[in-house]
Structure 1
Amino acid sequence: MVASSPRPEPMPAATIASPLLVAGNRCGGYCAGTGRKVRSVRRNRAREPVHMRETVVASELDLALVHALQLRPRASWAELAPPLGVTPGTLARRWERLTGAGLAWVYAAPGREFSRTRCSAFVLVRCRPGARGRLAERLAGLREVVTVELTASGSAALLLDVLAPDLPSLTALVLERLERLPGVTGVDTLLTTSLPLEASRWRLRSLDAGQLAALGRAGARPRDPVSSVGLDDVDHALLDVLVRDGRAGFAALAEHTGASPATVRRRLRRLTESGVIVFRCDMADELTGLPVPVTFLGRAPARDVNAVHRTLAALAECRLVAAVTGRDNILVTLWLPGVGDIQRRETALCARLPSLTVTDRIVGLRTVKRMGHLLDQQGRRTGTRSIRPW
């Protein structure tokens, strides 16, 4: 079972190199001309071996694989191999290499049912100078705080994504825990009323039209739930595994839960079709080519909000659109190629959406935690602090 301790589960350390770096260099990687993986070892002054980190170069096939898993996160390698033009074994090896390096990962996240029946919010945290790093580390240890981002905005030092089973639980978290943390000088809470676009629908755009057609649709859109879906111990045990590894097999899930593979299959189908969970394939910044996240806060007249949501959600670089409470009623997160694109994108948006007034631009400096997964300064996954918002 998943441990209750907040200690993160470590991931193998690795780096991604520029394609200009040749395989088999002295820092490790693949031995040129042989395809063999080699481990570089040096010794410190005490003559103890120190293993260098493996160098991983992402190829076009790797990018296509990640895009395919965004569309069908739990598809078998045999299903994905024909559209990608390689063998299942090749895909399995590629995926093991990517996940081992922390460059890509699949996991279960709260789905549409959560936003309708439970409570989520974006929280802006202000703090004293010098306290931000310590606060980020402490906040990353809280299960309810699923995402922690250090920002360059003057209005907040940290941007949090918080999930709770209900409004009283969220209120207790903000008033009794977040506001009382040492170094915190202010907290603004923006309750989420709807999510016209959530992160699982963002795409890498590495597949061509033929590959997309061969892969088909990721599946039917889940029906709108009319009430909260009841979860028992078996469901929670499944979720505890899937938030860490969304591609865990039915046999492994059955062993973890003590249920039969057939029962696990039925439960998983119910969880996905009801919108309790959605599977995501996420990746490090190096793979996206969009290393600058910016969150725009803005407001629009109520009569125009839905049209603004649709326009924002159609943008290729848009990762999330949320309707929020407070002075502003729209929150949108874009992933952009560079800092210089922020002003250009805002100008284009305001020209296209004259009823939208942008009130703040929150630029992400570093994401410490994203939906329970801990990231290093390059956005590579280094471990997990599993979430349990259900």
Structure 2
Amino acid sequence: MLDELDRALIHALHIDGRASFTQLAAVLEVSPQTVSRRYERLREQAALRVVGLPDPQLTGHEQWLLRLTAEPETALDLAHALVRRADTSWVYLTGGGTEIVAVLETPLGMAHGHSLLLHELPPSVGLTAVSAHHLLHTYLGWRTPWRMSANALTARQQRMLVGARPPERHDQVQLSPADHALLDALRRDGRAGVAELAVDTGWSPATVSRRLDHLRACGTVFFDIEIDPALLGGSVRALLWMAAAPAHLDEVATALAGHDELAFVAHTTGPTNLVAHALCPDTAALYQYLTHGLGAVKAIRTLETAPVLRTLKAVGPIRPPGPPGRRG
């Protein structure tokens, strides 16, 4: 079980995933050694990981949400094939265990970029249905964490962390091969030390530090948290596929982004134009949310609920062998 200090540390890492243990200790009013021990315990027991992510819009990419259905005996093989790809994230096994949902990132403007993935899949996966939904606008998620994982710090504590960083802009940046190597390393471990990042990029530690500060200030890279949502009250998970009239879509999505039960809300193309990820303590709570929370949003015309059975891949790549880097 998580206690108040665990939750406060998780919230702090949402705000600044690369804050040192000394900085975190000052915010949480404990010793750096206590923060270090709690961080290691959360890594081992709660699957905690800090990951550095490039902003797709600022790095010339776009995202697709894929729904793929396979024969029962091959669905898991298909899911694992998607997990191994570097351009996928959030690979879920949903429904009755024959549907896989994944996010695919492709270079901006690539026509039918999702079709490249299908051509590169093994022929033995037994695909029976495919639909692709272009993610047009995200209302909740990516840069904005699930409210129940970032609700432990006071306003003063949050200002202490935010105030330690320069204001973030959102500028397009031309990335070099070394920048891409830096981003790849941060995807694996967002708290990797500058010495380790220097090895990955071929830069000096001082150059790594300056370049990372610049990419963060421009908004090109941001940091997110991976953790078992069940520990935060998200034991029952479901993807919600909804349709709203275009005239009401922005109003509906903005309202949904304020619901505590949702960790992700986005506008997509396709027969349903809204998708959300619901996290609830149990099936009774999910029922209450679907009937009363969503039921109160009258402009939602249709709703499909797909229970998430397994998360095979989150936002970062598969963990490499060996201990991850640390920032003291």
TM-score in same-fold range (> 0.5): yes
Residue equivalent to 1:5: none
The question of whether the paired residues in 2 share the 8 Å contact of 1:293 and 1:363 is answered with yes
Residue equivalent to 2:78: 135
The structural deviation recorded for 1:194 is 1.3
Does residue 321 of the first structure (1) align with residue 321 of the second (2)? no
Partner AA of 2:126 in structure 1: G
In structure 1, list runs of 5 or more residues that go unmatched. 1-18, 20-57, 375-380, 385-390
Correspondent of 1:119 among 56, 62, 78: 62
Correspondent of 1:170 among 98, 113, 119: 113
Residue equivalent to 1:183: 126
Residue equivalent to 1:195: 138
Residue equivalent to 2:154: 209
Residue equivalent to 1:223: 169
Residue equivalent to 2:326: none
Partner AA of 2:169 in structure 1: R
Partner AA of 2:162 in structure 1: R
Distance in 2 (alpha carbons) for counterparts of 1:363 and 1:255: 42
Partner AA of 1:126 in structure 2: T
Note the alpha carbon deviations across 1:189-213, whole angstroms, 9 max, x for none: 0111111222442241452436645
Distance in 1 (alpha carbons) for counterparts of 2:234 and 2:173: 36
Does residue 103 of the first structure (1) align with residue 47 of the second (2)? yes
Identity across matched positions, percent? 30
1:358-373 to structure 2, matched below 5 A, reads 358-373=302-317
The question of whether the paired residues in 1 share the 8 Å contact of 2:188 and 2:320 is answered with no
Distance in 2 (alpha carbons) for counterparts of 1:132 and 1:221: 45
The structural deviation recorded for 1:320 is 1.0
Partner of 1:188: helix, strand, or coil?
strand
The structural deviation recorded for 1:261 is 2.6
Correspondent of 2:179 among 227, 235, 243: 235
Does residue 303 of the first structure (1) align with residue 262 of the second (2)? no
Correspondent of 2:197 among 240, 246, 253: 253
CA RMSD, Structure 1 to Structure 2 (Å)? 2.7
Residue equivalent to 1:269: 213
Distance in 2 (alpha carbons) for counterparts of 1:363 and 1:150: 9
The structural deviation recorded for 1:364 is 0.3
The structural deviation recorded for 1:336 is 1.1
The structural deviation recorded for 1:220 is 6.7
TM-score (norm 1): 0.74
In structure 2, list runs of 5 or more residues that go unmatched. 323-328
Does residue 159 of the first structure (1) align with residue 105 of the second (2)? no
Residue equivalent to 1:54: none
Partner of 2:162: helix, strand, or coil?
coil
Deviation beyond 6 Å, 4+ runs, structure 1: 381-384
Note the alpha carbon deviations across 1:252-272, whole angstroms, 9 max, x for none: 222332212332122212322
Partner AA of 2:107 in structure 1: P
Partner AA of 1:207 in structure 2: A
Partner of 1:74: helix, strand, or coil?
coil
The structural deviation recorded for 1:330 is 0.8
The question of whether the paired residues in 1 share the 8 Å contact of 2:81 and 2:121 is answered with no
Note the alpha carbon deviations across 1:197-234, whole angstroms, 9 max, x for none: 22442241452436645535375774344xx5321121
Distance in 1 (alpha carbons) for counterparts of 2:321 and 2:277: 24
Distance in 2 (alpha carbons) for counterparts of 1:224 and 1:302: 27
Correspondent of 1:147 among 85, 90, 94: 90
Correspondent of 2:274 among 325, 330, 339: 330
The question of whether the paired residues in 1 share the 8 Å contact of 2:27 and 2:161 is answered with no
**Greater relative contact order (Cα < 8 A, sep 6+):** 2
Distance in 1 (alpha carbons) for counterparts of 2:303 and 2:177: 44
Residue equivalent to 1:282: 226
1:79-98 to structure 2, matched below 5 A, reads 79-98=23-42
The question of whether the paired residues in 2 share the 8 Å contact of 1:179 and 1:186 is answered with no
The question of whether the paired residues in 2 share the 8 Å contact of 1:113 and 1:275 is answered with no
Larger Cα-atom Rg: 1
Does the C-alpha gap of structure 1 residues 336 and 373 become closer, same or farther in structure 2, counting only changes over 3 Å?
Answer: farther
Distance in 2 (alpha carbons) for counterparts of 1:214 and 1:350: 33
Normalized per residue, which structure has more helix? 2
Partner of 1:352: helix, strand, or coil?
coil
